[in-house]
Chain A
Amino acid sequence: MRWIAKLQSILRTAFRHRQAEAELDDELRDHVEQEVANNIRAGMTPEEARFAAQRLVGPVSLYKEECRDARPLGFVKYSLRDLLYAIRTLRHTPLFTAVAIVTLALGIGANTTVFTFVENILLRSLPVHDPQTLVALNWGDGVNMSYPNYIDFRDRNTVFSSLIADRLIPASISVEARQNYRVWGYEVTGNYFETLGIKPLLGRFFGPAEDDKPGAHPALVLSYRYWQSRFAGDPNVVGRTVKVNGYPFTIVGVAPPSFTGTELIVAGDFWAPMSMESQVEPGSDWLHSRSAGNSWTVGRLKPGVSCAQAEANLDQIAQQLAHAYPNEINPKARFHLSRPGLVGQALRRPIASFGVVLMGIAAAVLLLACINLAGVLLARASDRRREIGIRLALGASRFQLVRQLMTENLLLATGGGLLGYTIAAGACHLFSSWHPAFDLPMNTTLHPDTVILCFTLAVALLTTLLFGLAPALQAIRTDVIPSLKDEPASNRLRKWSVRDLVVASQIALSVILVICSVLVVRSLQNALTVNLGFNPNNAVSVSFDLKTKGYSQERSRRFHTELLAKASALPGIESTGIISNLPLRMGENTNTASRADRPAPKPANRREAIVYNISPGYLRAAGTRLLFGRDVNSYDHEGTLPVAIVNEALARLLFDNENPIGRHVRMSSKAADPGVEIVGVVETGKYEYLGEDPHPAIFLPIAQTETGWTTLVARTRLPAQAATELLRKTVLDLNPDLALFNIGSLKDQLALPLFPARIAAIVLGIFGLLAMVLAATGLFALMAYTVSRRTREIGIRMALGARPFQVFSSVFRRTAILCAAGISIGTAVTLAAGGLLSAVLYGVSPRDPAIYAIAISIMLLVALLASWNPAARAIRIDPARILREQ
């Protein structure tokens, strides 16, 4: 029956609160009355009896508290009361509350945003069956593998239950005639879908049977997004025929919405069997070329096989292959398995190191916010000494006080957490709705989900402990008597207190953040002014692919000649030229390059050069400087001696300081290849990304090579838009069926290579600014507080004849010492950890003294501004008034 009694008592407390209180009152009063009656019986007068009884009985209200404590649910009731009291207290000081919540919200919001980024991009698994057993294969220092190599690894390995290969490519898809759109998609091996374990939303996926013979099965799978946008979600789309780069394919199925391929941040829109390679990429034929490393491979590990075992097995096969094909395979290249989704290790490494930097910085900002808030709370605690003294005098226990103060802090943290989550959700929404202005479809969606919300709340709780516990504990150390008399806490103002430590560490953290952001902003500036090897100002371009339209080599060349003739005659166009693919656009072709007068080097010693095909006039139109020799001219065509222009990096690599003009460069591994003659040398530019080291490049006359990729570049005096329109019209006049892409000024098209640096600059800039604001307010609060505490002392000093300057310097000295300490610590930490940043820095040393000088002066200026007002207030203190008042 005990539990019934318990339940009754719980219900009584819960629902009959008032009655329970009245009964308690009655009971205790009754006790006193009986004591009084007893005393009277013992012979006391009624007054004496009551007095004696009350003295014996003691503080009744305290007993009541303890009786209430003994009730069930007492804790809940207290928490509720603490909460209501906390809300009331916070409402009394709206400015403090707002500042505290906003400070926390900024810190928590920053962390949540960064965590969302990390969770969504680095920690998220591919939306496929059992993603944990999937691994991406990295070979040597790259991720690429040729199709024949893939087949050998697939058939010989003993560690994967299956191995797939895919290749990301752009293609022009036309549903109806004269409507061409360029999309990105994958050529995949036949075992792709069954290995990943995905179920089609509509129709079916193709399997190994449809990837067996080159050119035999034109089957096409569409992404959900593409199906929605181009076919308006037409349920009868399966079975329809579309042309991919001019070749008819039958749509066999639609992928589910979550699946956009095996890369997380690139959203592929179609899948075609790899055996259809020559049809999807007209004119290319790499299925039998062992040196054409152009596919990415992902394997599913057999149960119980570790990554190390798999790597050993792959290395062993690689050795066998290197033995069989010494010209194509470098026996020194080792395998390394990594999580799939970010182009093997190639993207994961830089993104991960950027993520670590961001997490560190966000954590630092949050720490800063907490420290700041702790400082404000410490000041507030001193202002509340009287209140706390009164409550202690009334019998509140210290535990109750801490609980009360921590409830207030928890309330602030929760408010900050919720606002922070809102800020993060807004930032993620902004990022998701932003489409970077480049051709590759990016998956920029960031979803803050329940995991993120839990993270935010955990961070908020942690911050409560961080910023709240020390001030709360300090507050309850209040001595009752002096606090009630309104005496100053103690004369410890000269000593260094917790608050000084707080401000010094704040300054240190801000210095770190400011240095980082100045470094990155400087790096972005560098990136914008770096010598690209072409001049992006006043130039426009338009790209298309003739091969996808079935142009033969002969027709392509005629088209190019005709186009150049027409384009150069356009009004306002100064010069025009054609290049296969502009630098910094992705999709570079590389080839080995060696001296033709020496034996072909072994695979391990081979040097790769990026190969471009250019027309006469391209160098001038793009603004690439010719250092020696001559440009390509109209005599360099199929019938004449093959020639090449190389960049300075290649010339130096192969010929050192010798004159390269007239020498021959060989671009294959065949010893009999006489190579092509070098007729000119151009400046070295940037080809793959802005931060790259000088990279060898070769420019071949477009009329002596075979390519359908065409980028028409024009240097112009016209506004970019007008010039672009002219070019587009000229191209479409010649062939209205072409799918044009990468249209616009060269400057706009630098968006892709500048993307990482821009993101870094924006994020770090925001963080740096945030840190500086936090440090400034922290310093200001400390100074203002110190001055207000020292008002009396300063008044006495001035009455005794201290000059304003002396007062000023005595107040300022503290700031100066704190700043010096904070700045030195911050600088030291950044110097030590600066290496982490080098992944996103371009052309700046992470230890550049000039940047440190700039950051430190910014910090000093901020410190000066923040402490100026309080210091000025100190010297305006009127001694007479102060002495009268106190």
Chain B
Amino acid sequence: MGKPTDLVQGTLDLLILKTISLEPMNGWAIAKRIVQVSNNILQVQQGSLYPALHRLEHQGWIKAEWKDSENNRRAKFYSLTAAGRKQLKSELDSWRRLSGAIGVVIESV
């Protein structure tokens, strides 16, 4: 019953923030979107998704509201707050720096 190890915590946060930066989404849609966009490479387990959502919400980076979803069910939609947008930008910057640096190291050898 261990947590999935395919995504490190910080990365999942980044993916969530990035995904909902386009439009408000509910949890299921976020998971599906990440799977689709990554061509089924990144699997987001419900067990990591919801705790992460709740954590981000408590940190004030995302906010949630109840809306009707496409199949007419009430669902909880998450969207970025102003602080979240700032956080996303800084996380993206640091991610790019990090992955760029890793890329340089890997390619050069």
A72 near B58 with CB under 8 A, answer: yes
| Per-position 1/0 for A536-572, Cβ under 8 A of B | 0000000000000000000000000000000000000
A63 near B81 with CB under 8 A, answer: no
In the bound complex, CA of A547 to CA of B76 (Å): 101
Contact partner of A26 (CB less than 8 A), chosen from B28, B29, B74, is: B74
A6 sits at the interface (CB 8 A): yes
Knowing A30-B76, A31-B46, A62-B1 are in contact, say whether A6-B51 is a contact too (CB < 8 A).
no
A67 near B50 with CB under 8 A, answer: yes
B26: A residues at CB distance < 8 A: 27, 30-31, 34
B51: A residues at CB distance < 8 A: 63, 66-67, 69-70
B96 sits at the interface (CB 8 A): no
A71 near B54 with CB under 8 A, answer: yes
- How many interface residues does A have (CB within 8 Å)? 32
A74 to chain B, nearest CB (A): 10
B91 sits at the interface (CB 8 A): no
**Which residue of chain B has the shortest Cβ distance to A56 in the bound complex?**
B46
B82 sits at the interface (CB 8 A): yes
A672 to chain B, nearest CB (A): 100
B25 to chain A, nearest CB (A): 11
Contact partner of B54 (CB less than 8 A), chosen from A58, A60, A67, is: A67
A33 sits at the interface (CB 8 A): yes
A305 sits at the interface (CB 8 A): no
B71: A residues at CB distance < 8 A: 34, 37
In the bound complex, CA of A723 to CA of B57 (Å): 91
In the bound complex, CA of A4 to CA of B63 (Å): 12
A9 near B57 with CB under 8 A, answer: yes
A66 near B76 with CB under 8 A, answer: no
A35 sits at the interface (CB 8 A): yes
Knowing A28-B50, A30-B26, A35-B28 are in contact, say whether A6-B59 is a contact too (CB < 8 A).
yes
A588 to chain B, nearest CB (A): 79
Contact partner of A1 (CB less than 8 A), chosen from B50, B75, B83, is: B83
A303 sits at the interface (CB 8 A): no
B58 near A23 with CB under 8 A, answer: no
A33 near B50 with CB under 8 A, answer: no
- List residues of B (68-102) whose CB comes within 8 Å of A's CBs: 69, 71, 73-76, 81-83
A454 sits at the interface (CB 8 A): no
B82: A residues at CB distance < 8 A: 1
| Per-position 1/0 for A673-698, Cβ under 8 A of B | 00000000000000000000000000
A177 sits at the interface (CB 8 A): no
Knowing A27-B27, A70-B51 are in contact, say whether A58-B58 is a contact too (CB < 8 A).
no
A395 near B63 with CB under 8 A, answer: no
B83: A residues at CB distance < 8 A: 1-2, 5
A70 near B76 with CB under 8 A, answer: no
A57 sits at the interface (CB 8 A): yes
A34: B residues at CB distance < 8 A: 26, 28-29, 69, 71, 73, 75
| Per-position 1/0 for A66-80, Cβ under 8 A of B | 110111100000000
A59 sits at the interface (CB 8 A): yes
A3 sits at the interface (CB 8 A): yes
A38: B residues at CB distance < 8 A: 32
A69: B residues at CB distance < 8 A: 51
A23: B residues at CB distance < 8 A: 66, 76
B61 to chain A, nearest CB (A): 8
A35: B residues at CB distance < 8 A: 28
| Per-position 1/0 for A1-18, Cβ under 8 A of B | 111111001000000000
B58: A residues at CB distance < 8 A: 6, 9, 70-72
**Which residue of chain B has the shortest Cβ distance to A397 in the bound complex?**
B1
Knowing A58-B46, A69-B51 are in contact, say whether A30-B75 is a contact too (CB < 8 A).
yes
**Which residue of chain A has the shortest Cβ distance to B4 in the bound complex?**
A58
B45 sits at the interface (CB 8 A): yes
**Which residue of chain B has the shortest Cβ distance to A8 in the bound complex?**
B60
A62: B residues at CB distance < 8 A: 1, 47
A2: B residues at CB distance < 8 A: 59-61, 81, 83
Knowing A30-B76, A35-B28, A395-B1 are in contact, say whether A58-B45 is a contact too (CB < 8 A).
yes
Interface centre among A5, A26, A56, A62, by most B CB within 10 Å? A5
- List residues of A (130-183) whose CB comes within 8 Å of B's CBs: none
- List residues of A (485-542) whose CB comes within 8 Å of B's CBs: none
B50 near A30 with CB under 8 A, answer: no
In the bound complex, CA of A31 to CA of B58 (Å): 20
| Per-position 1/0 for B40-67, Cβ under 8 A of A | 0000011100111011011111010010
B42 to chain A, nearest CB (A): 15
| Per-position 1/0 for A395-438, Cβ under 8 A of B | 10000000000000000000000000000000000000000000
| Per-position 1/0 for A645-686, Cβ under 8 A of B | 000000000000000000000000000000000000000000
A4: B residues at CB distance < 8 A: 60
In the bound complex, CA of A6 to CA of B61 (Å): 10
A72: B residues at CB distance < 8 A: 58
Interface centre among B55, B58, B61, by most A CB within 10 Å? B58
Contact partner of B60 (CB less than 8 A), chosen from A6, A57, A60, is: A6
A5: B residues at CB distance < 8 A: 57, 60, 63, 81, 83
Name B's A-contacting residues (CB within 8 A).
Answer: 1, 26-29, 32, 45-47, 50-52, 54-55, 57-61, 63, 66, 69, 71, 73-76, 81-83
Give 13 CB contacts A-B under 8 Å.
A1-B82, A2-B59, A2-B61, A5-B57, A5-B83, A6-B59, A27-B27, A27-B76, A28-B46, A30-B28, A59-B1, A62-B1, A70-B51
Name A's B-contacting residues (CB within 8 A).
Answer: 1-6, 9, 23, 26-28, 30-31, 33-35, 37-38, 56-60, 62-63, 66-67, 69-72, 395
**9 more CB-based (< 8 A) A-B contacts, given A58-B46, A67-B54:** A2-B61, A5-B63, A9-B57, A26-B74, A30-B74, A37-B71, A59-B47, A63-B46, A67-B51
Q: Which 3 residue pairs are nearest across A and B when measured between Cβ atoms?
A: A5-B60, A2-B60, A34-B28
